[in-house]
Amino acid sequence: MDETALIHSAQQGDLNAFNTLILHYQDAVFNTAARILGDDDMAEDASQEAFIAAFQSIRSFRGGSFKAWILRTVTNACLDELRRRKRRPTTPLEPETSDGEEMDSPKWLADKSMTPAQKAEADELEHAIQHCLDALPTEFRTAVVLADIQGMDYTEVAAASKVPIGTIKSRIARARLRLRECLRSFEELLPASFRLDSENTR
Amino acid sequence: MKNFRDIERLSAYLDGQLDAAESASMESRLKSDPELESTLRNLRSARGILRQLPQRKAPRNFTLTRQMVGLKPPLPRSYPIFRLATIFASILFLFSLSATALSPLVSFENAAAPAPAFGMGGGCEDCEGAPAQEAGPATEEAFAAEMAPAATEEALMEEAAPLEATDEARIIETPSAKEPVPETEDQAEVIEEAGASSSFNWTILFLVIAVVSGLMMWVLQFTARKRWR
């Protein structure tokens, strides 16, 4: 696949060329959306919206990594979706205290009071990790998904998130720390090579 | 417990985002600080867990259709010309049509007012009698002036009779008073007919241009759409 030629054709309005690019990147786009949103249906909608937006703004693509550019588009679509969801919440995403205040997610996930039924739901490692990802603040989750799941470098993540590299560096470090704390409660699910050291960085 | 600055540097070190000097400094610290090294292992584990997550496959193809992105078939270069012609012809047609519709009202207003210009075809129905009336008194006064001395001299009375007859004949046959009337009517009719026929022709012409251009636009669109499929 001659990506540069396809991009050039798509910039001239060739939809078939752009569809070829879509077929090549749709898994990465959907995967990113699914990890950020934590919901397949929403991820599907966000992916489709992202591709439509990408085609309509492909003339603004000035070279560089097309993957980074398209992931930036889907990240924006996901953030829009999350903002919409925040404006029209259906069920509380965070558990609340008796005073009606939100509880901190990692503590909630690591809470000893988590029922066996809830633990059974998170039986699979993937579900457990997604659970921990969902518990992260949106900006931390976005940064860590782009860097660690999609393998983008800090510059690309910064460009996709429209924040300075220093901020991305900090977000990724914080996200990894929180994930480590969260995954501690799913230690038995982790492969031996990923078992965490005892708590010593608190 | 490590401070967050150290953890941030460790995370960047893990990703190869530190420069050579910072990396060397970090490596020397890691060798001498087991706690720092343990933190690095934990961060690496967290990153490794995320990296080994299975890539989710797209549940369907997200390929786009022309409808989804609102694409329209490419139209030939002549299309804008026809569009422009349609717009202009329509505007001119409406203008011409309204001018034709309003012209009787304008003519009526002119007719009600005294006709200032002679022979302009302002729809003056009294034009036939007006010059005679104007010429009438003037001729009578002149005639009276001429007749005054004639009345005192009887001798001249007999001479005056043929003169009177001649003057009367002259008055009746004054060409300046009589001749313009039929000319005015003819001119008015000609002008009215010419005006009516010219405005009618322009209206029809504009209508035809608008319709033909519109049809051409439709044909071009239809052909382009058919070819695009």
Q: Each residue of B112-149: pLDDT tens digit?
A: 544 444 444 444 444 444 444 444 444 455 545 555 44
Shared domain check, A62 and A117: no
Q: Is residue B165 part of a domain?
A: yes
Residues in chain A with CB shorter than 8 Å from the CB of B54 are 126
Dihedral of alpha carbons B143, B148, B154, B155, sign: negative
Of B163 and A88, the one with more pLDDT: A88
Shared domain check, B143 and B33: no
Of B81 and A111, the one with more pLDDT: B81
Rounded distance, CA A168 to CA A187, Å?
Answer: 27
Q: Is residue B58 part of a domain?
A: no
Q: Is residue A62 part of a domain?
A: yes
Rounded distance, CA B162 to CA B159, Å?
Answer: 6
Answer left, alpha or beta for residue A146, where phi above 0 means left and psi between -120 and 50 means alpha.
alpha
Of B198 and A170, the one with more pLDDT: A170
pLDDT of residue A187: 78
Is residue B205 predicted with pLDDT exceeding 50? yes
Shared domain check, B169 and B104: yes
Shared domain check, B111 and B25: no
Shared domain check, B82 and B42: no
Of B187 and B34, the one with more pLDDT: B34
Instruction: Considering only the beta carbons, identify the residue of A23, A28, A129 that sits closest to B49.
Output: A129
Q: Is B2 on the interface with A (CB under 8 A)?
A: yes
Instruction: Read off the pLDDT of each residue in B94-113 and give the average, rounded to a whole number.
Output: 72
Supply the CATH number for residue A73's domain: 1.10.1740.10
Shared domain check, A83 and A109: no
In chain B, which ranges are E strands? none
Of B99 and A193, the one with more pLDDT: B99
Instruction: Considering only the beta carbons, identify the residue of A40, A145, A180 that sits closest to B42.
Output: A180
Counted domains in chain A = 2
Shared domain check, A151 and A70: no
Angle at A104 between CA A83 and CA B14, to 5 degrees: 85
Of B99 and A18, the one with more pLDDT: A18
Q: Is residue B151 part of a domain?
A: yes
Shared domain check, B121 and B38: no
Residues in chain A with CB shorter than 8 Å from the CB of B12 are 154, 169, 173
CB atoms within 10 A of CB B176: 8
**Interchain pair B43, A173: CB under 8 A:** yes
Residues in chain B with CB shorter than 8 Å from the CB of A153 are 15, 17
Shared domain check, B203 and B93: yes
Rounded distance, CA A172 to CA A150, Å?
Answer: 13
pLDDT of residue B74: 76
Tokens of B96: 């011409």
Residue B45 is part of which domain span? 4-51
Q: Kindly state the DSSP code that residue A64 receives in the 8-state scheme.
A: S
**Interchain pair B8, A169: CB under 8 A:** yes
Shared domain check, B184 and B75: yes
Counted domains in chain B = 2
pLDDT of residue B184: 56
Shared domain check, B43 and B80: no
Q: Is residue B22 part of a domain?
A: yes
Q: Which segments in chain A show pLDDT lower than 50? A: 92, 103-111, 119, 121-122, 199-202
**Interchain pair B64, A47: CB under 8 A:** no
- Cβ A202 vs Cβ A110: under 8 Å: no
Shared domain check, A114 and A83: no
Give the 3-state secondary structure percentages of chain B, helix then strand then coil, rounded to 5. Answer: 80, 0, 20
Q: Which of residues 65-104 of B touch A (CB under 8 A)?
A: 65-66, 68-69, 71
Shared domain check, B219 and B111: yes
Q: Is residue B62 part of a domain?
A: no
Residue carrying structure tokens 């860097």? A147
Shared domain check, B167 and B75: yes
Cα torsion B24, B27, B28, B33 to 10°: value is 150
pLDDT in tens, B26-57: 999 999 999 999 889 889 989 998 988 888 89
Rounded distance, CA A67 to CA A73, Å?
Answer: 10
Exposure string over B182-209, b if 16+ CB within 10 A, otherwise e: eebbeebeeeeeeeeeeeeebbeebbeb
Is residue B84 predicted with pLDDT exceeding 90? yes
pLDDT of residue A123: 54
Q: Is residue B56 part of a domain?
A: no
Final residue in a domain of this structure, among A31, A59, A87: A87
Shared domain check, A75 and A16: yes
**Interchain pair A200, B63: CB under 8 A:** no
Helix or strand or coil: residue A96? Answer: strand
Q: Which residue type is seen at A107? A: K
pLDDT of residue B52: 84
Q: Is residue A96 part of a domain?
A: no
Residue A33 is part of which domain span? 3-87
Rounded distance, CA A29 to CA B64, Å?
Answer: 15
Shared domain check, B130 and B31: no
Mutate to test the interface with A, among B5, B53, B66, B71 (most CBs of A within 10 A): B53
**Interchain pair A26, B61: CB under 8 A:** yes
Q: Is residue A53 part of a domain?
A: yes
B134: nearest Cα among B171, B106, B163 = B171
Q: Is residue B29 part of a domain?
A: yes
Alpha carbon B228 to its chain's center: 32
pLDDT of residue B178: 45
Instruction: Give Rg (Cα) of chain A.
Output: 19
pLDDT of residue B76: 83
**Interchain pair A129, B46: CB under 8 A:** no
CB atoms within 10 A of CB A13: 14
- Cβ A153 vs Cβ A71: under 8 Å: no
Residues in chain A with CB shorter than 8 Å from the CB of B68 are 52
